[in-house]
Amino acid sequence: MAGGVFVEDYRDGDEAAVLRIAGAALGEGYVDGVGPVLARPGAAVLVARDAPAGPALGFVWGWRLAPGALAAEHPELGPSPLPPALARADAAGRLALLKTIAVDPACRGRGIGPVLVQAFERRLRALGAATFLSPAWVHDDGVPVDRLLSGFGYRPWHRVPRLWRRGCEDGEFACPARRPGEGCCCDAVYYARAA
């Protein structure tokens, strides 16, 4: 517990709340289930609450990558060379991906995001991770999680234009930044934090 926020492992009864929070923060349909994440080796799905077993206020998930798996799992990063710290962590299987973090819009400003990042990193370090990578959403208003990630020492590393274009324009999810009648306007920027 930190600042009145408890972080616990995801439970089966949390899925509806996680989907609701993800829909409000990232767009309806962007997250369509937690099962595939839970099935990954080295995964962590954590939920923030204001009381043990209370309702979900936010969540974070991600996983430790297998040795050398970054290029195969994230081909959008292209042929650009990895910074040395990322390359070493990837080769050694010590690279973790903080894939998704979202806080209920009604609960923002309560310090839930930092508590989730801290708990996630602690969990993944216990699983052997030493370096972290996080794809962040970029739209006209900037990077919503920049201050959060920067506060933990993450730095922007690689920008991927229109990463979610196909899913957005095919209607797989309802991007909250997309304007009616326009195409995808969002990029991704990968943030990295080396040990």
Q: Please report the domains of the chain, with CATH numbers, ordered by start residue.
A: 6-193 (3.40.630.30)
Classify the C-alpha dihedral 55-3-193-151 as positive or negative: positive
pLDDT score for 178: 64
Mean pLDDT is highest, among 10-14, 49-53, 164-168, for 10-14
Q: What is the pLDDT of residues 16-63, one digit of tens each?
A: 999 999 888 877 767 788 998 999 999 999 999 998 878 999 999 999
The more confident residue out of 131 and 143 is 131
pLDDT score for 183: 67
Residue 110: CB atoms within 10 A of its CB come to 18
Q: What is the pLDDT of residues 75-108, one digit of tens each?
A: 888 777 888 999 999 999 999 999 999 999 999 8
pLDDT score for 176: 66
pLDDT score for 189: 87
Give me Rg for the CA atoms of the chain.
Answer: 16
pLDDT score for 165: 67
Question: How much is the mean pLDDT over the chain?
Answer: 87
Distance CA 7, CA 3 (A): 11
Classify the C-alpha dihedral 151-147-18-77 as positive or negative: negative
Mean pLDDT is highest, among 106-110, 122-126, 133-137, 161-165, for 122-126
- SS3 sequence, the chain? CECCEEEEECCHHHHHHHHHHHHHHHCCCCCCCCHHHHCCCCEEEEEEECCCCCCEEEEEEEEECCCCCHHHHCHHHCCCCCCHHHHHHHHHCCEEEEEEEEECHHHCCCCHHHHHHHHHHHHHHHCCCCEEEEEEEEECCECCCHHHHHHCCCEEEEEECCCCHHHHHCCCCCCCCCCCCCCCCCEEEEEEECC
pLDDT score for 11: 92
User: What percentage of the chain carries pLDDT values higher than 70?
Assistant: 87
